[in-house]
Amino acid sequence: MISVFGSKAGKEEIEQVSESINNQWMGMGPKVKEFEEKFSKRLGLRNFLMVDSGSNGLYLAVKLLDLPMGSEIIVPSFTWVSCAQAVILAGHKPVFCDVDINSYNITEKTVANSITDKTKAIMVVHYAGLPVEMDSIKQFGLPIIEDAAHAVDSYYKGKACGSIGDVGVYSFDAIKNLAVGEGGGVTAQKSELIERARVLRYCGIGKSGFETSTQGKKRWWEYDIKEVFIKMNPSDILAGIGLAQLEKLDALQAYRKKIWDIYQNAFKDCDWIKTPCEANDGDKHSYFTYCIRIRKKRDELAKYLFEKGIYTTVRYHPLHMNKIYHSNVKLPNCEILNEEALNIPLHPNLSESDVEKIVDEIKSFKKYL
């Protein structure tokens, strides 16, 4: 079965992991610090902190804003469940907004319809790595939580996605553009937010016993708990894989773009397929996933491809349609995407023959329309 998502790792990642094991340093250590420094340098980030997952990074990002309890935070409905969960777990209310039918991103218009006097922040998601029009979102004057889970190599007007809002979050899980298995990161405009995040990451403890022991404190094991928080430490195992992936990122991204371009060219004359948007001039896409729209028989196409050994999915089922959130809002574009969107395989572990088969099988489905 050809998988819809995937990553590519090899001997370089194995060497990094082996080094950590040989050094008996598998928890958070020097490789985490090195990854943080190199990732920051590549993206031009002022402040960056690695955490154990992008989902926990979102929760941490919401907490860093110190919003009044029960605040409303606008969240696009067409996104992963972690966005809403982070808001709720932090003691706030997600207010789901629609997305643009072509870009699958929030816009000034879709956000404006959802703002109330209780709105205290906006969560932005760069779907598939296509940059959101950030300037139009910033004009609302509200704090912005920037979910750049799909956008590790995306840029908006020359600035790295994730670095434009008040706080930004990255994901490095097993299917992302930079994949470490599980892992994530948080960045912020203000360095004091990242310093606070550094404390929160380790159960809210100001300094570890080892750190205080090197500073002349007699009873260094008596640590000072600054805040009540959960543990979000990453490990040197994850960071080592991340270091290897960073070295390969340009090549991995180039291959993703190659597949993207093949799809764009192959489907441009198929009037029954709506292809995804390209980035605006001056912006850069990350090509995390390739999401087409099929106005008729989307489900039948998915089943047809599955039977041909090609796995597809709908990423994502709109959150406002999940009963757990008790939302009665109607979001027409998200609901259209729920019936028409289909993510087809795009990742660096696809072979050229895989891509050729995917194109051929999708085109062959036209006879059933």
Instruction: Locate the domains of the chain by residue range.
Output: 11-246, 249-368
Instruction: State yes or no: pLDDT of 217 exceeds 70.
Output: no
Mean pLDDT of all residues in 308-316: 97
Q: pTM of the prediction?
A: 0.96
Work out the angle between the directed axes of helices 236-267 and 11-22 (0-180°, nearest 10). 170
pLDDT in tens, 36-82: 999 999 999 999 999 999 999 999 999 999 999 999 999 999 999 99
Q: Which residue has the tokens 């004359």?
A: 269
pLDDT (0 to 100) of residue 200? 95
Instruction: State yes or no: pLDDT of 213 exceeds 60.
Output: no
Nearest Cα residue to 345 out of 309, 319, 316, 369: 309
pLDDT (0 to 100) of residue 221? 75
> Would you place residue 219 in the very low, low, confident or very high pLDDT band (cuts 50, 70, 90)?
confident
Instruction: State yes or no: pLDDT of 220 exceeds 90.
Output: no
CA distance 83 to 158: 26
Residue bearing the bigger pLDDT, 349 or 220: 349
User: 152 near 175, Cβ under 8 Å?
Assistant: no
Mean pLDDT of all residues in 314-318: 96
Mean pLDDT of all residues in 25-30: 94
CA distance 360 to 233: 45
Secondary-structure class of domain 249-368 per CATH = alpha beta
Instruction: State yes or no: pLDDT of 274 exceeds 60.
Output: yes
Mean pLDDT of all residues in 253-257: 98
pLDDT in tens, 318-357: 999 999 999 999 999 999 999 999 999 999 999 999 999 9
> Would you place residue 214 in the very low, low, confident or very high pLDDT band (cuts 50, 70, 90)?
low
> Would you place residue 209 in the very low, low, confident or very high pLDDT band (cuts 50, 70, 90)?
low
> Would you place residue 222 in the very low, low, confident or very high pLDDT band (cuts 50, 70, 90)?
confident
Phi and psi, residue 168, nearest 5°: -130, 150
pLDDT (0 to 100) of residue 216? 65
Tell me, which fold does domain 11-246 have in CATH? Answer: Aspartate Aminotransferase; domain 2 (3.40.640)
CA distance 86 to 89: 5
Say what percent of the chain tops pLDDT 70.
97
> Would you place residue 215 in the very low, low, confident or very high pLDDT band (cuts 50, 70, 90)?
low
Integer angstrom CA distances of residue 102 from 181, 357, 362, 363: 31, 26, 21, 21
Say what percent of the chain tops pLDDT 90.
93
Mean pLDDT of all residues in 22-34: 95
Instruction: State yes or no: pLDDT of 230 exceeds 80.
Output: yes
Instruction: State yes or no: pLDDT of 195 exceeds 60.
Output: yes
Mean pLDDT of all residues in 106-117: 96
Instruction: State yes or no: pLDDT of 207 exceeds 80.
Output: no
User: 342 near 295, Cβ under 8 Å?
Assistant: no
> Would you place residue 224 in the very low, low, confident or very high pLDDT band (cuts 50, 70, 90)?
confident
Task: Please return the burial class of 119, using the count of CB atoms within 10 Å of its CB with bins 0-12, 13-18 and 19+.
Answer: middle
Instruction: State yes or no: pLDDT of 35 exceeds 80.
Output: yes
pLDDT (0 to 100) of residue 273? 98
What residues contact residue 56 under an 8 Å CB cut-off, 6+ apart? 184, 230, 232
CA distance 264 to 23: 47
